[in-house]
């Protein structure tokens, strides 16, 4: 039951900045995920929390106590590795018992606890097997049991599922969530898989090139991305370059809007709060939020865009289009019954109604 704080945590390897001033405040019992592409620093950050990597600068605190200099074996953490890392020379039971044995726990206590753990992961009859004899999913479950046997106060997960196949991943991620809920321990999970992060986290930290780009719930990240990277990384998103031409305040309690001119398009999207008229921005609209209207001349409304269908592909549940809107390629997907008529028809000129547009400052200083 631990509150974990990262304060301006930095890691430098020679001249490379792997982790750049990462700060986070994780409440007791929270399940957070560090989400990002390979090399974004999420694993390095996790390993610093684990104590396997020294910090170049910054602090890490558990329950208010600075633990920078505390070696890993005294931090009372649990770490689940990508490669399960079960000791090949020990049986399943001995693996699970390892953390207790090194602490000098009594034999009786160890036996009891191991049985408890085996029961929890439903592998009691495999106690004496060697790791090599188990399937990938079973191995990872034993790794989880081993981690939990010592009753750590923080759970750390380093992409534990990426080595497994799709089906296994889907079931196991809920097991992990379930375990965390039941034990109520603070958990930090690292992955590059957005759907995994979305399925199990209370909060997500999106990381890129050593920095946290945005922190929030799934809804925040998906619906209100704050940076170009976040908008593009999580789910597909169209990025349209433009310039702010007007700021429209919203009703009290409602978010404000901005008007953006992008080429021949007039777009109205959510006000990010940090733009003025004349600023260069990126307007983001997700393909699933675009309505394809086949006929009629559009009124001169914001978010109605005229274009020509360049490409149309039937994907099964959806139809994917690429529409050329005055030189800007816009990706749209259409589901439901209506998608079939899209396919059927000959004429290429369409009108797109863009919805749920988010606006982000186009800051060349922040390299994407």
**Interface with another protein (CB under 8 A):** 5, 7-8, 23, 25, 27, 30, 32, 50-52, 54-59, 66, 68-69, 71-79, 81, 83, 85, 87-89, 98-99, 101-103, 146-147, 150, 156, 201-203, 215-218, 220
Q: How far is the CB of 287 from another protein (least distance, A)?
A: 25
Question: Quick one: 116 or 243, whose CB is closer to another protein?
Answer: 116
- Residue 233's nearest CA partner among 286, 166, 279 is 286
Question: Quick one: 127 or 177, whose CB is closer to another protein?
Answer: 177
Question: Residue for token digits 């990126």?
Answer: 282
Question: Quick one: 103 or 241, whose CB is closer to another protein?
Answer: 103
Can you state the angle between helices 107-121 and 136-149, rounded to 10 degrees? 140
Question: Quick one: 154 or 304, whose CB is closer to another protein?
Answer: 154
Strand order in the sheet with 203-208: 77-80, 154-158, 186-191, 31-35, 203-208, 211-216
Q: How far is the CB of 62 from another protein (least distance, A)?
A: 14
End-to-end CA distance of the chain: 37
Pairing of strands 154-158, 186-191: parallel
Q: How far is the CB of 198 from another protein (least distance, A)?
A: 10
Which helix (H) or strand (E) segment holds residue 206: the answer is strand 203-208
Question: Quick one: 216 or 232, whose CB is closer to another protein?
Answer: 216
Q: How far is the CB of 213 from another protein (least distance, A)?
A: 14
Computed from CA positions of residues 303, 308, 314, 320, in that sequence, does the dihedral angle turn out positive or negative? negative
Question: Residue for token digits 């106060």?
Answer: 153
What distance in Å separates the CA atoms of residue 362 and residue 36, rounded to the nearest whole number? 20
Q: How far is the CB of 58 from another protein (least distance, A)?
A: 5
Question: Quick one: 30 or 363, whose CB is closer to another protein?
Answer: 30
Q: How far is the CB of 126 from another protein (least distance, A)?
A: 19
DSSP string for residues in 320-340: EEEEEETTEEEEEEEESTHHH
């Amino acid at each position: 039951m631990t509150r974990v704080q990262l304060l301006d945590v930095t890691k430098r390897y020679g001249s490379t900045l792997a982790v750049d001033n990462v700060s986070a405040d994780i409440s007791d019992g929270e399940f957070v995920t560090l989400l990002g592409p390979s090399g974004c620093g999420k694993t390095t950050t996790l390993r610093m929390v684990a104590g396997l990597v020294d910090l170049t600068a910054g602090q890490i605190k558990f329950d208010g106590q600075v633990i920078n200099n505390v070696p890993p074996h005294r931090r009372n953490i649990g770490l689940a590795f990508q490669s399960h890392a079960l000791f090949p020379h020990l049986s399943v039971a001995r693996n699970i018992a390892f953390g207790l044995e090194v602490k000098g726990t009594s034999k009786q206590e160890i036996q009891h606890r191991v049985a408890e753990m085996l029961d929890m992961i439903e592998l009691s009859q495999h106690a004496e097997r060697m790791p090599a004899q188990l399937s990938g999913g079973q191995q990872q479950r034993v790794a989880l049991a081993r981690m939990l046997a010592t009753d750590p106060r923080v759970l750390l997960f380093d992409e534990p599922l990426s080595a497994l196949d799709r089906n296994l991943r889907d079931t196991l991620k809920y097991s992990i969530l379930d375990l965390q809920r039941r034990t109520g321990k603070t958990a930090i999970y690292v992955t590059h898989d957005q759907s995994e992060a979305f399925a199990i986290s209370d909060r997500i930290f999106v990381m890129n090139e050593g920095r946290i780009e945005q922190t929030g719930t799934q809804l925040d990240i998906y619906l209100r991305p704050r940076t170009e990277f976040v908008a593009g990384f999580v789910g597909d998103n169209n990025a349209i370059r433009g310039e702010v031409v007007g700021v429209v305040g919203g009703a009290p309690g409602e978010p404000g809007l901005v008007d953006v001119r992008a080429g021949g398009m007039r777009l109205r999207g959510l006000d990010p709060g940090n733009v003025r008229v004349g600023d260069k921005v990126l307007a983001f609209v997700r393909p699933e939020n675009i309505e394809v209207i086949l006929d009629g001349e559009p009124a001169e409304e914001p978010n109605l865009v005229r274009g020509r269908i360049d490409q149309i592909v039937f994907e099964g549940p959806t139809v994917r289009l690429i529409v050329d809107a005055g030189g800007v390629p816009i990706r749209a997907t259409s589901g439901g019954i209506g998608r079939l008529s899209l396919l059927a028809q000959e004429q290429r000129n369409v009108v797109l109604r863009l919805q749920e547009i988010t606006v982000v400052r186009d800051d060349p200083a922040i390299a994407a």
